[in-house]
Amino acid sequence: MNNPASITHCTLGELMIYQIARSIEDGILAFHGFGSPLVQLALHLAKHSHAPRLILVAGATYGVNPKPAFLTPTTNDFAMNRAAECQLSIEELFDLAASGHLGRMFLSGLQIDCWGNMNVTGLGQYDRFSLKLPGGGGGCNLSADASHITIWTAAHRTPLDGQGRRRYRLVKQCDFTTSVGHRTTDGMPRSTMPYRGKGPDCIVTDLGVFGFNADGHAELQQVYPDTFAELVAEHTEFDVPVSANLVTATLPDTEIVEFIRRLDPLKIHERELSQADRRRYFALNGSH
């Protein structure tokens, strides 16, 4: 199964990992947080393929350029830090970000709005949340400090509840702003803030890939072989502008798929996906 020659399909998870990896530039310093296996795999994939000079800082351990034994179910594990070239501390990584040296960071949210603001703190009123979420780690700081942000979520598709409503992931407004995007909830543009970073430039989801237009508003740029713009709009609470150059996303090649499967034998990354999405496959190179 793990011989590239015998690989005929990629999974949705592998496609998302590949799309996240494509957002990573060679030669930058990039950091993955914890609880984000899709991103962890994307960083290792990028370094293995198009970005060999990437300075890869592992979340939670702060090891630089580690060669993980395998992807572990929790992030702060020696297996993830194996053979790290050198070691940073929590303060050193965040200082690097604050001084403008963190090229890219990866953030997600239970709510993501059209400007790239996100909520991982709680639903409802901030003084009495109806649902307390785990919290954002360093996301608030890094959303301001990192040069660029890749946003991802594997839960864009939201089922209808008994009353025919959806609890959207891509929302009109976040209940709480944990990390900042291109415009504050009271309408202030990002440029009025003394942030070093330029904010999010893409959102990779289970339905497609967004960019951000000149106003800082999310815009659909890519769909997947089994999705289309109307489906994306149906599962998005805000109005979705569609790029004039909407394309179907490029699929990873078999070597890339093999690399991901070798690094994640426990399929930890599938825990980010819904049960149904774990069964989505795409044929590679015209094979069926």
* Cα dihedral 240, 245, 248, 250 in deg (nearest 10): -120
Identify which of 55, 58, 35 has the alpha carbon closest to the alpha carbon of residue 108.
35
Q: SS3 for 68?
A: coil
| Residue 270 φ then ψ, to 5° | -65, -15
Query: Angle of helix 254-263 relative to helix 37-48, nearest 10 degrees?
Result: 130
Place of tokens 């919290």: 135
Least distance from C-beta 273 to another protein, angstroms? 10
CB of 200 to another protein, least distance (A): 14
Q: How far is CA 21 from CA 50, 80, 91, 114, 204, in A?
A: 9, 18, 26, 22, 10
Which residues, in sequence order, are CB contacts of 198 under 8 Å at separation 6+?
147, 148
Pick the closer one to another protein by CB: 35 or 211.
Answer: 35
Q: Which is nearer to another protein, 95 or 201 (CB)?
A: 95
Closest distance of CB 193 from another protein, Å: 5
Q: State how far the Cα of 66 lies from the Cα of 69, in Å rounded to an integer.
A: 9
Least distance in angstroms from the C-beta of 98 to another protein = 7
Smaller CB separation from another protein, 45 or 144: 144
Output 119 or 221, the one with its CB closest to another protein.
119
Q: With respect to another protein, which residue has the nearer C-beta, 77 or 201?
A: 77
Q: Which is nearer to another protein, 136 or 200 (CB)?
A: 136
* b/e map 92-120, b = 16+ CB within 10 Å: ebbebbbeebbbbbbbbbbbbbbbbbbbb
Q: What's the min distance (Å) between Cβ of 134 and another protein?
A: 3
Here the tokens at position 88 are: 């940073």
Q: Shortest gap between Cβ of 35 and another protein (angstroms)? A: 4
Residues of this chain that bind another protein (CB under 8 A)? 34-37, 60-63, 69-70, 72-79, 81, 87, 89-91, 94, 97-98, 121-122, 126, 128-145, 176-180, 184, 188, 190, 193-196, 265-266, 268, 271-272
Q: How far is the CB of 269 from another protein (least distance, A)?
A: 8
156 or 251: whose CB is closer to another protein? Answer: 156
Phi, psi of 120 (to 5 degrees): -130, 20
